[in-house]
Amino acid sequence: MAIEAVDNLDESKDVPINDVCGCFALDCIGQIICSVDFQAVKDPNNDLIKRAKNFFNMPVFVISAVAPKVSLFFGLSIINQETKKYFTDLSSNVVEQR
């Protein structure tokens, strides 16, 4: 898996180490916990990676951290609900397959 991450890099470009490490971490978590290969390192543009990057709604997170009563009053959630549903469905599918 680590070798694939290095092999997929273009030598003429800067390495987005944060993205590479994030993909590698998701692959490790998927294989260790779920026995599923997400192939995040091979394809960093797959749907799982895109959804993982949008899991937290940062503006709402900042509002919740600064003024938690305001976020409760308006019913704001720091987790993107569409992304939450995606990961809930993904988890359910993994459990069903096992």
Q: Could you tell me the residue ranges of all domains in the chain?
A: 1-53, 54-98
pLDDT given at position 89: 92
Whether the pLDDT of residue 5 is over 60: the answer is: no
Q: Is the pTM of this model over 0.85?
A: no
CA distances from 79 to 9, 39, 42, 55, 75 (A): 31, 24, 27, 6, 12
Q: Which residue has the higher pLDDT, 23 or 1?
A: 23
pLDDT of residue 82 exceeding 60: yes
Dihedral sign for Cα atoms in the order 68, 72, 73, 79? positive
What number is the average pLDDT over the span 52-77? 84
- At 10 the pLDDT is 61
Share of the chain above pLDDT 90, in %: 4
Selected residue with higher pLDDT from 59 and 85:
85
